[in-house]
Homo-oligomer: A and B are copies of this chain.
Amino acid sequence: MMGLDCNCETRGPRKVRAFEKVLTDVQREIYVENWRISGEELDIGAESDGWHIDKRRLLGGLSDGVDVVEVNSGRLSFVVVPTRGMGIWKGTFDGCFLGWDSPVKELVHPSYVNLEDRGGLGWLSGFNEWVVRCGLESNGAPGEDLIVDNVGNKKSVRLPLHGRIANTPASEVRAFVGLEPPFELGVRGVVYERSMFGPSLKLSTSITSEIGDNCIKISDVIENVGGVPAEMQLLYHCNYGMPFLENGARLIAPLRRVAPRDRRASEGVEEFDSFGPPQAGFVEQVYFFELLGDGEGRTRVLLTNKDETKATSISFSLRQLPHFTLWKNTASLSDGYVVGLEPATNFPNPRRFERERGRVINLKPRENYAAEVVIAVHLGKEEAQGVKDWIKNLQDAVKPKVFKNPTSEFSPM
């Protein structure tokens, strides 16, 4: 068992009594503009009573019309953004900031994001979330690929960076509060990525935290609700700036193989797992990982600051998310000093390349694909020790292979 310091993984799918509030249901024409619940309105009997859920509609500027749901489970709080595909904007744990400081400060309404902009890089004009899904029809770098058009012909189109899901609003949003232990708080949502003669993918997500806990669980199911087979890609872009990222911060992960994405990444391959200070003009370095898992395919990665007093881990199953990418972007503070930890179904290369490498999911009609990611925060040196030990235990059995140069198995040459 891993995650001794986090109860999240031990939850089963057992049903507990819960209070539920529908915040959006487009089909039923339900929409709640502003809403709040806390221990003052609802006594759930939990020891901690500092919890609340707060739903707001932002107004003005680039955020005009953006819905946010803030969940505060006592020590941990996070902001889910239904309007931006149920991503997680930012959070705090015991006052410690979770997320990063993007040059894009405000939440950006999708109507201001033209994905085709800047040669397919328009996604970047709205990119500032702590956790953002990339997908679902495709993710990764922009690139030419073939789609089937309405006439049944193959048509070459340029797929935009990281796909559409993060700029697609949820059709259904519900807040819920568990009325029995473990007193789970959270938001559920459904986001459709669909078009006539296009994808018909349904994302059902549940984003939860337990009262008083240090972790957040993202449980997703992607279903092909169309009548023909469909491709699917899913990547969790989990981004951290200070205080977890700093000069001397490190990534600790159970490694089988590591490959630099390109020549730029090769330059830093000796220190791929450590991070430097903010550096103006730093050009991103990206590393592709094959991780080790336990007998059930579970794995965990840890990002820790220099003195290991502030750490965060991500747990997931390699059976669901077999590929992991590290995005090092230690640019200046004003340009986005950030590291991305990215468990995924694929590496974020152009989809055509990933398809050739067998790293694109195919879903039959009505078939679905589940993925779960648990993010925990570990403040204090002792807190992360369990995770470190767990990773070390896996690593002890295997000597990692680190490629010095880009490798055709991992990235286009």
Q: How far is the CA of A59 from the CA of B30 in the complex (A)?
A: 8
Provide the residues of chain B in CB contact with A141, threshold 8 Å.
151
Which of B119, B128, B149, B334 touches A156 (beta carbons < 8 Å)?
B119
Closest to A149 in B: B121
29 pairs, CB–CB < 8 Å, chain A vs chain B: A24-B60, A26-B58, A26-B106, A27-B105, A64-B65, A65-B65, A102-B196, A103-B200, A105-B192, A109-B111, A110-B111, A110-B112, A111-B112, A114-B116, A116-B116, A119-B149, A119-B155, A124-B195, A124-B198, A128-B196, A151-B262, A152-B283, A152-B284, A196-B336, A200-B335, A226-B335, A227-B331, A227-B332, A228-B332
Query: Does any Cβ of B come within 8 Å of A29's Cβ?
Result: yes
A343 interfacial contact with B, CB 8 Å = no
A59 vs B170: C-alpha distance when bound (angstroms) = 12
Assembled-state Cα–Cα distance A171/B102 (Å): 16
Q: Which of B124, B150, B173, B333 contacts A227 (CB 8 A)?
A: B333
Closest beta carbon of chain B to A406's beta carbon, Å = 12
Give the Cβ gap from A282 to chain B, nearest Cβ, in Å.
9
* Copies of this protein, total: 3
Excluding A60-B67, A116-B117, 12 further A-B contacts by CB distance (< 8 Å) are: A29-B58, A31-B58, A62-B171, A115-B117, A118-B147, A118-B149, A118-B157, A125-B198, A127-B196, A141-B151, A226-B335, A228-B280
Tell me whether A63 is interfacial, beta carbon within 8 Å.
yes
Are A103 and B168 CB-contacts (below 8 A) given A31-B59, A125-B195, A280-B365? Answer: no
Q: Are A194 and B104 in contact (CB under 8 A)?
A: yes
Report the separation of the CA atoms of residues A72 and B78 in the bound assembly, to the nearest whole angstrom: 44
Instruction: Determine whether A295 belongs to the interface, using a CB cutoff of 8 Å to chain B.
Output: no
Number of interface residues of A (CB under 8 A): 79
Interface residues of A, Cβ cutoff 8 Å to B: 24-27, 29-31, 33, 56, 58-65, 67, 102-106, 109-112, 114-119, 121, 124-125, 127-128, 141, 147, 149-152, 155-157, 161, 168-173, 192, 194-198, 200, 225-228, 262, 264, 278, 280-281, 283-284, 331-336, 365
